[in-house]
Amino acid sequence: MRQVTGKGGRRGVLLGIRLGIRLGVLLGLLLGGATAVRAQVTAIKAGKFFDAEGGKMLANQVILVKDGRITDVGSGLSIPKGAKVIDLSAMTVLPGLLDMHTHLIGPPNDPDPLHELQRTSAQEVMQSLPNPPKVLLAGFTTVRDVGTYRALTDIAMRDAIARGDVVGPRMFVAGAYVTITGGAGAVTGFAPDVILPWDMHYAEANSPWEGRQRVRMLAGQGVDFIKVLSTGAVLTHNSNANAREFTDEELNAIVDEAHNFGFKVAAHAHNAAGIKAAVRAGVNSIEHGSYLDEEGIQLMKQHGTYLVPTLETGECINAASGYPADFLEHSDRLEKLSLENFTRAVKEGVKIAFGTDISVCPFGFNAREFSWMVKYGMTPTAALQAATVNAADLLGQTANVGSITKGKYADIIAVKGDPLTDIAVMEKVQFVMRQGVVYKTP
Ligand SMILES: [Zn+2]
């Protein structure tokens, strides 16, 4: 028995050692494998290369990517042995684009917010699922999503994309619209005896302290920035784009509270007085800015406020069917004026960041906005910078996105042709990489 026990003991030790060795080998393999995956270098050969920071086109650059980040970029870089090579030498390579005004939640191109009452929150989100992949494959690797009628669904979508459950752009989200009751961000047009669910009026505020409280609630839910509406809207019932919403006192409180949490603030604003009130309150961007006047332009320059024009939306509203008559009337009134005011803002040097209001125009056609920006006064270089370095600055994400620079995320796209001579080539993006992962190849 002793012997057997002894043998058994020795066997046990031997088994233990063998198992240990096997486990060690297995662990080694696993770790080695993981290390190999982590150490995998991708080298991208760029024929033409848009230097977003310098605002110029370079030739024959090599970009090295590891662990989702850009590790080096330049001409004449040697490609490390074993690197995976992506040859884009026949193409123009650009940083992944940023759209600062999207609405990814909701069924594509739904013309009437009253339809919100016909869907559950779950249906709303499930019907949104085709939207993010379309935007990513169009070359937009980062978006600032500026509001949803179903509060906090955008947070769920942002996190699902970050986990890899849904393919889409990196999202920065507002959580809900900070709006007055019956205002531009409210669900309106129903009978007054209808009681809305909590998430359709989550961030409605009607006093400075209510404004602060809404910002605090949103902060607690993990939003990335605050969206406030300081004038009426086009695509909202009982709303007048040329009316102010919120008092100075309310706007000051909301922006002050947002800044306390380190949030930037985006203000939807058409009416000139509403634009100026938001700029004076210290918002970081004016969305749309349709009735922007000379005083507003000077104020924006003084405060360094970005304008996020959404130039194509009027055309998309006209082209679509099913928009309620009151929306079409709102749109007609401000379309021409907003294009003229954009041209003036560009000429006078207001900072511009790219935005589409996508959901009004079809998802995946975000890049058509470039042609509108160029047609109404921007150079192709400036339009591309609006969707790269400027947008990254507005987002407070210059360390991570907006240019192909060492240390930033490997968000890289490519087009055929030269966008500086024909901006429309941006509408046919051939290659998309987000954080080192390729989603589209020529
Ligand atoms: Zn919008």
Residue 153 contacts residue 175 (beta carbons within 8 Å): no
Closest residue by Cα to residue 280 from 308, 250, 309, 260: 250
Phi-psi region of 160 (alpha: psi -120 to 50; beta: other; left: phi over 0): alpha
pTM listed for this prediction: 0.90
| Cα separation, 289 vs 406, whole angstroms | 35
Strands 42-51 and 56-66: antiparallel
Query: How close is the Cα of 68 to the center of ligand 1, in Å?
Result: 31
- Using CA atoms, how far residue 423 sits from 192, 369, 370, 380, 388, in Å, is 48, 10, 7, 6, 15
Query: How close is the Cα of 76 to the center of ligand 1, in Å?
Result: 44
* 227-263 CB burial, b ≥16 within 10 A, e <16: bbbbbbbbbbbebbbbebbbeeebbbbbbbbbbeeeb
Q: What is the pLDDT of residue 36?
A: 39
Query: How close is the Cα of 146 to the center of ligand 1, in Å?
Result: 6
255 is written with which tokens? 């922006």
Query: How close is the Cα of 18 to the center of ligand 1, in Å?
Result: 64
Query: How close is the Cα of 165 to the center of ligand 1, in Å?
Result: 26
* Helix ranges (DSSP H) in 129-247: 131-137, 153-163, 208-220
Q: What is the pLDDT of residue 25?
A: 37
Query: How close is the Cα of 185 to the center of ligand 1, in Å?
Result: 9
| Cα separation, 113 vs 184, whole angstroms | 11
Query: How close is the Cα of 183 to the center of ligand 1, in Å?
Result: 14
Cα dihedral value 247, 184, 129, 320, nearest 10: -150
237 is written with which tokens? 């019932």
Count the alpha carbons within 13 Å of 316 in the hemisphere toward its beta carbon: 23
Residues in the 5 Å CB sphere of ion ligand 1: 357
Query: How close is the Cα of 136 to the center of ligand 1, in Å?
Result: 19
Count the alpha carbons within 13 Å of 202 in the hemisphere toward its beta carbon: 21
302 is written with which tokens? 């003084």
Task: DSSP letter for 135, please.
Answer: H
- Using CA atoms, how far residue 374 sits from 44, 311, 378, 394, 418, in Å, is 29, 11, 5, 21, 15
Query: How close is the Cα of 344 to the center of ligand 1, in Å?
Result: 22
Q: Which strand ranges, in their side-by-side order, compose the sheet holding 140-145? A: 97-102, 140-145, 170-173
Q: What is the pLDDT of residue 331?
A: 76
Query: How close is the Cα of 360 to the center of ligand 1, in Å?
Result: 8
Query: How close is the Cα of 145 to the center of ligand 1, in Å?
Result: 9
| Cα separation, 274 vs 261, whole angstroms | 24
Query: How close is the Cα of 270 to the center of ligand 1, in Å?
Result: 11
Mean pLDDT by 10 residues, the chain (442 residues): 37 40 38 47 98 98 98 95 97 98 90 88 96 98 97 98 98 98 90 94 98 98 98 82 94 98 98 97 97 98 97 86 78 84 98 96 96 98 98 98 98 98 98 98 94
Task: DSSP letter for 231, please.
Answer: B
Query: How close is the Cα of 359 to the center of ligand 1, in Å?
Result: 8
Residue 99 contacts residue 366 (beta carbons within 8 Å): yes
Query: How close is the Cα of 357 to the center of ligand 1, in Å?
Result: 5
Neighbours of 85 (CB within 10 A): 11
Query: How close is the Cα of 103 to the center of ligand 1, in Å?
Result: 7
Residue 155 contacts residue 175 (beta carbons within 8 Å): yes
Query: How close is the Cα of 423 to the center of ligand 1, in Å?
Result: 24
Closest residue by Cα to residue 354 from 95, 168, 174: 95
Q: List residues bridging with 229 in a β-sheet.
A: 268
Query: How close is the Cα of 52 to the center of ligand 1, in Å?
Result: 26
